[in-house]
């Protein structure tokens, strides 16, 4: 049951991410920062792509994805159409990976030590869903603030 729930939540929120990116009227607005808001909507999107492609796709799905976390925050002016295609690809990766997980695997330790303590796959997937939701809200706020 949890796997199916997570599949629905990730799909829902990744589709919302795609919509948020598409709603930017100006591609340049996607990359705006100021003294108090240091992460642009575009960089937050790249961060989510890297995060989920790494921890769900690469580690659990064995996709071979190699993360460049520094680029997630340093790249600028990636076309919004490219971001949306990457989101579409990620939706497939996440769904495919989660559909192959067993309920037994959910209760095993996540194969990589990400934080200072070990955690189950189940715990980390819930964390990743909330991480996605957190940054999705930031992107929504960024878009409404800078893309007037």
Q: For the chain, which domains are there?
A: 2-146 (1.20.120.450)
The C-alpha torsion from 115 through 67 and 140 to 14, rounded to 10°, is: -90
pLDDT tens, 16-39?
Answer: 999 999 999 999 999 999 999 999
| Confidence bin at 67 (pLDDT 50/70/90) | very high
pLDDT tens, 131-148?
Answer: 999 999 999 999 999 998
CA distances 83 to 11, 19, 70, 110, 130, Å, are 16, 11, 17, 28, 21
* Residue for token pair 């809200």: 137
pLDDT tens, 112-127?
Answer: 999 999 999 999 999 9
The confidence score (pLDDT) of residue 148 equals 82
Identify the H or E element spanning 139.
helix 121-146
């Amino acid at each position: 049951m949890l796997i199916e729930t997570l599949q629905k939540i990730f799909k829902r929120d990744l589709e919302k991410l795609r919509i948020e990116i598409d709603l930017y009227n100006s591609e340049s607005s996607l990359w705006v920062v100021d003294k108090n808001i240091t992460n642009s909507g575009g960089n937050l999107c790249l961060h989510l792509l890297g995060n989920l492609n790494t921890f769900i796709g690469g580690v659990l799905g064995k996709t071979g994805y190699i993360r460049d976390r520094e680029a997630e925050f340093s790249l600028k002016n990636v076309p919004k159409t490219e971001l949306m295609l990457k989101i579409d690809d990620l939706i497939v990766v996440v769904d495919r990976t989660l559909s192959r997980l067993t309920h037994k695997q959910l209760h095993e330790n996540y194969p990589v030590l990400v934080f200072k303590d070990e955690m189950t796959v189940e715990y980390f997937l819930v964390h990743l869903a909330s991480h996605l939701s957190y940054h999705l809200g930031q992107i929504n706020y960024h878009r409404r603030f800078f893309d007037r």
